[in-house]
């Protein structure tokens, strides 16, 4: 019995010791055992100001990974310090420059949510849009999308990001560039439809080509692709033997875009366009934010900043499920304004009676 009692006493002592360690914590366990405290909380190695100055020095040298590490440590150890908000602005820039576009967009989103009243919040809105416009292979793996789906998804998100920016902060120095990017994305979607229309024409699938051109009229009436859409409609209807409709579209070309017709009345098609998504961008470059620098103004082709923003605010992208109804546009045809300010209604679209349900 004595042995059992001693064993019980020993076990009880061990149990109490273990409970004491749990209650007192890792530092007590270190003192009791003389071992190394492997669970001690990490502390800052540098002051807040030193973390920040070192990070900016790394950014200036193009060493973005190290800069991100310093900025992350700064925000970890000094989350309410004087550099915390600025550090996040610099972090999203460093992440963007290092090609981590999704991470940069996420940091921008975090800044918007944490510091909505910060005077520089419009920069975060801008970075979020620019980062999403770029997209990346990182997102390709994350969402398991193919390249075409990725580009479409990211451009849609970026368009919405820029739209929110110009609606909330129309006087931001980043608003004109955001508006120009919106216009580019809008035109890119319309041009994609026309590329498909031209592909169908090359294969003599004229009904399908008409579908694509009409889609441009319905959903991208303010795009640069409208002249090409009229040309495709004129050409395709002529090939289908619908001469009256073809003549109406040719009349529209003669009034609005006479350069789309040859001297003998033949339609000129732009079937060999080779525009790359980012090669024609003239937007401002993304700069690290500080009080003395902002985005460069880019090329606005003579329009004022106010006009650029106003024009972009009128643009809308069709919803994803709108593609299910590509057969024919609504009963109201788009209007084009001629040089002498006469409104020209696309009456041929309204009177078109052929079946437009093929080749969507």
d(CA 254, CA 268): 12
Residue 20 has pLDDT above 90, yes or no: no
The CATH class, in words, for 48-172 is: mainly alpha
Q: Would you tell me how many other CB atoms lie within 10 Å of the CB of residue 346?
A: 24
Task: Please name the residue that has the structure tokens 């700064």.
Answer: 74
Strand, helix or coil for residue 293: strand
Mean residue pLDDT of the chain comes to 76
Residue 281 has pLDDT above 50, yes or no: no
**Residue 43 pLDDT class (50, 70, 90 cuts):** confident
Cβ atoms of residues 253 and 348 within 8 Å: no
What are the pLDDT digits (tens) for 91-122?
999 999 999 999 999 999 999 999 999 999 99
**Average pLDDT for residues 186-206, to the nearest whole number?**
92
Q: Which is more confidently placed, 141 or 243?
A: 243
**Residue 272 pLDDT class (50, 70, 90 cuts):** low
Residue 338 has pLDDT above 90, yes or no: no
What is the structure's pLDDT at 285? 64
Q: Where are the domains of the chain?
A: 48-172, 188-277+314-351
83-87 LR contacts (CB < 8 Å, sep 24+): 83/48, 83/49, 83/51, 83/52, 85/111, 85/115, 85/118, 86/52, 87/51, 87/52, 87/55
What is the structure's pLDDT at 286? 76
Residue 196 has pLDDT above 70, yes or no: yes
Cβ atoms of residues 259 and 224 within 8 Å: no
Say if pTM beats, i.e. exceeds, 0.85. no
What are the pLDDT digits (tens) for 52-90?
999 999 999 999 999 999 999 999 999 999 999 999 999
Q: Would you tell me how many other CB atoms lie within 10 Å of the CB of residue 240?
A: 15
What is the structure's pLDDT at 152? 76
What is the structure's pLDDT at 276? 44
Residue 331 has pLDDT above 90, yes or no: no
Strand, helix or coil for residue 224: coil
What is the structure's pLDDT at 299? 41
């Amino acid at each position: 019995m004595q042995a059992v009692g001693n064993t019980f006493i020993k076990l009880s002592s061990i149990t109490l010791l273990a409970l004491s360690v749990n209650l007192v914590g890792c530092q007590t366990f270190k003192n009791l055992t003389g071992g190394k405290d492997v669970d001690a909380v990490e502390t800052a190695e540098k002051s807040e100001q030193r973390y920040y100055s070192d990070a900016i020095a790394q950014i200036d040298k193009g060493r973005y990974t190290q800069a991100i590490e310093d900025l992350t440590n700064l925000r970890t150890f000094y989350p309410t310090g004087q550099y915390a908000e600025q550090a996040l602005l610099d972090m999203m820039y460093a992440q963007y420059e290092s090609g981590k576009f999704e991470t940069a967009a996420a940091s921008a989103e975090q800044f918007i949510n944490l510091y909505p009243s910060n005077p520089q919040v419009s920069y975060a809105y801008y970075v979020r849009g620019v980062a999403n416009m770029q997209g990346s292979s990182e997102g390709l793996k994350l969402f398991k999308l193919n390249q075409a789906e990725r580009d479409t998804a990211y451009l849609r998100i970026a368009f919405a990001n820029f739209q929110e920016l110009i609606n909330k902060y129309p006087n931001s120095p980043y608003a004109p560039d955001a508006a120009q990017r919106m216009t580019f994305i809008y035109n890119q979607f319309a041009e994609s439809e026309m590329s498909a229309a031209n592909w169908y024409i090359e294969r003599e699938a004229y009904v399908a080509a008409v579908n694509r051109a009409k889609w441009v009229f319905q959903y991208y009436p303010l795009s640069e692709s409208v002249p090409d859409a009229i040309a495709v409609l004129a050409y395709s209807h002529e090939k289908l033997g619908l001469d009256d409709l073809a003549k109406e579209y040719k009349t529209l070309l003669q009034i609005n875009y006479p350069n789309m017709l040859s001297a003998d009345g033949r339609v000129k098609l732009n079937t060999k366009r080779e525009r790359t998504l980012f090669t024609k961008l003239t937007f401002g470059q993304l700069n690290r934010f500080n009080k003395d620098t902002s985005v460069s103004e880019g090329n606005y082709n003579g329009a004022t900043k106010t006009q650029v923003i106003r024009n972009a605010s009128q643009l809308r992208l069709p919803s994803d499920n709108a593609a299910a109804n590509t057969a024919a546009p609504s009963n109201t045809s788009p209007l084009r304004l001629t040089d002498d300010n006469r409104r020209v209604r696309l009456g041929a679209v309204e009177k078109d009676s052929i079946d437009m349900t093929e080749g969507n």
